[in-house]
Structure 1
Amino acid sequence: MGIRFPNEARSFDDKNRCVRFSGYDGMFEIKFYLATEVLACGKAHRHASESDYLTSFDALRPRIIKVATNAYLKAQSSSISLSLRDFS
């Protein structure tokens, strides 16, 4: 069936320093964790706020979804972490 991202919800996880979002492969939820380093946009990590990260996520959403789709096709896992390396 392939992965889809019908829900645009995302949330910031301060403890793990990532943005969480989900995709769905049929009825199975796939959880993604995007490292804040991808979203820093030139700001030092300690100076960026939750709002900065979520705004950056929204601006980069098409690219993030493309990278997430490719990562899922390779991993076929229910939980996938994305780092800056995945975007190079």
Structure 2
Amino acid sequence: MVRPEAATLDLKSKEEKDAELDKRIEALRRKNEALIRRYQEIEEDRKKAELEGVAVTAPRKGRSVEKENVAVEEKSMGPSRRSPG
């Protein structure tokens, strides 16, 4: 049988763990939002620079384009050259 004191300690430690996890989740959300904002700022600056003709780098392809290119390459390899699995 479980003693009342032990059950209370288990509940308290579970509540403390939940509170700590909530803090960590919130911190990760804030960090993620900051990263998204920074990425958007970078993309806006890059697009503005391209329009003004002062771009430092060539226009970048989106991730979806990269995935499409990989799919096309796999199709063009044919069944004999594909890796198993």
In the superposition, the TM-score normalised over structure 2's length comes to 0.21
In the superposition, the TM-score normalised over structure 1's length comes to 0.21
Larger Rg: 2
Name the structure with the higher helix share.
2
Name the structure with the higher strand share.
1
